[in-house]
Amino acid sequence: MKVVLKFIVALLLAAVSLITYWCNTQENEFTGEKQHVDMTVEQEIALGLQAAPEMAQQYGGLHPDREAAQAIKNIGQQLVQSSRVSNTPYNFEFHLLADEQTVNAFALPGGQIFITGGLLKRLNSEAQIAGILGHEIGHVVARHSAEQLAKAKLTQGLTGAAAIATYDPENPASQGGAVVAAMVGKMLNMRYGRNDELESDRLAVQLTGSAGYDPRAMMEVMRILDEASGGAGGPEFLQTHPNPGNRISQIEQAIQEEYPNGLPENLKQ
Beta strand ranges found along the chain (DSSP E): 25-27, 34-36, 93-97, 105-107, 112-116
- Give catalytic status of residue 147 as yes or no: no
Of 146, 118, 143, which Cα lies nearest the Cα of 132?
Answer: 118
Beta strands 93-97 and 112-116 are: parallel
Beta-carbon contacts of residue 133 (< 8 Å; ≥ 6 apart): 72, 75, 76, 79, 94, 105, 113, 115
Of these residues, 136, 147, 197, 199, which one is catalytic? 136
Burial of 122 (0-12, 13-18, 19+ CB in 10 A): middle
Which residues participate in catalysis according to the annotation? 136
